[in-house]
Amino acid sequence: MHVSRIFVAPEIERLIKNNEPVVALESTIISHGMPYPKNVQTALRAEEIVRENGATPATIAIINGIPTIGITKEQIDYIGKNGEKITKASKRDIPILIANKQDGATTVAATLFLASSAGIKVFATGGIGGVHRYFGDIMDISSDLDELSKKNVAVICAGAKSILDIGKTLEYLETKSIPIIGYQTNEFPAFFSRKSGFKIKYKMESPKQIADMLKIKWDLGIKGSVVIANPIPEKFDIYGDLIASAIESACNEAKEKGIAGNQVTPYLLDEINNLTQGKSLEANINLVYANVKLGAEIAREYSKIPLC
């Protein structure tokens, strides 16, 4: 199926038409999130977890200039092998990559846009972007936040990446009227850690409760996404001083080296992994697994709700 130059894999097209549960997955985590072959193994395992929990994964990327909803295992491996040679694609990059017939690994903003265009209502990722912690020096706000205000998609994440200014990120989300739901928690998670020190207003206890809320919101015509904040499993939580020290050190190095724009996040994650002796990579992988599992459960419950 082609929707305004977007290719939707036949299986995904059929499932969307039949209101069957589908979970969108991004591809930047494959190209820029971790080294090969761990990136490919993680992506394929994430797809398996979605299937094990009653939904179908739709990993999204731009392949040879074609935005593709539901890329193949071979295409996942291709993105993983080529890594940072693949363009890290936000929404603004999509038309350029199409025109130039180039490849792109989709960020949260681009995945949101493409998933919504195809009619997918649930998207599971690692962490959303946000307001940079040095916002006073560089006016850096992730386009993820703006796109969240425009598309009717539930985004399951482990909060905002802990390299960001979480307080300012939450304020921006509030300004954009983007609801935040804590899954079994009243504290906004900080990606590698279950705790950020910032409370969130609403907690929901089950995927069904979340699915019912999503249906009501969109039936009322209230546009925009919902952030479902799912804390990293306790076993993999990197506590307090260790991660705070690693983040501070990595951020200072990035600032000194003049690293900016969409290169900041992959650089910082790599530095933090080195400083934590691999603990942050293990945490990153397992928080993704937890998020795609919850995403599948929410998608499954949402598909049970009558359309009218």
User: pLDDT truncated to tens, each residue of the chain (308 aa)?
Assistant: 556 799 999 999 999 999 999 999 999 999 997 889 999 999 999 999 999 999 999 999 999 999 999 999 999 999 999 999 999 999 999 999 999 999 999 999 999 999 999 999 999 999 999 998 754 555 678 999 999 999 999 999 999 977 788 999 999 999 999 999 999 999 999 998 898 999 999 999 999 999 999 999 999 999 999 999 999 999 999 866 666 676 677 667 766 777 666 566 667 667 777 777 778 889 999 999 999 999 999 999 999 999 86
Sign of the Cα pseudo-torsion (264, 266, 267, 270, in order): positive
Residue 243 CA to residue 245 CA, distance in Å, equals: 5
pLDDT score recorded for residue 161: 78
Q: Which domains does the chain have, with CATH numbers?
A: 2-239+288-303 (3.40.1790.10)
pLDDT score recorded for residue 21: 98
pLDDT score recorded for residue 135: 47
pLDDT score recorded for residue 164: 86
The catalytic residue among 161, 293, 297, 301 is 161
pLDDT score recorded for residue 262: 58
Tell me whether residue 26 is one of the annotated catalytic residues. Answer: yes
The catalytic residue among 26, 47, 147, 297 is 26
Residues 6+ apart with CB under 8 A from 163: 133, 247, 250, 251, 264, 265, 268, 269, 272
For the entire predicted model, the pTM comes to 0.91
Token pair for 208: 């069904």
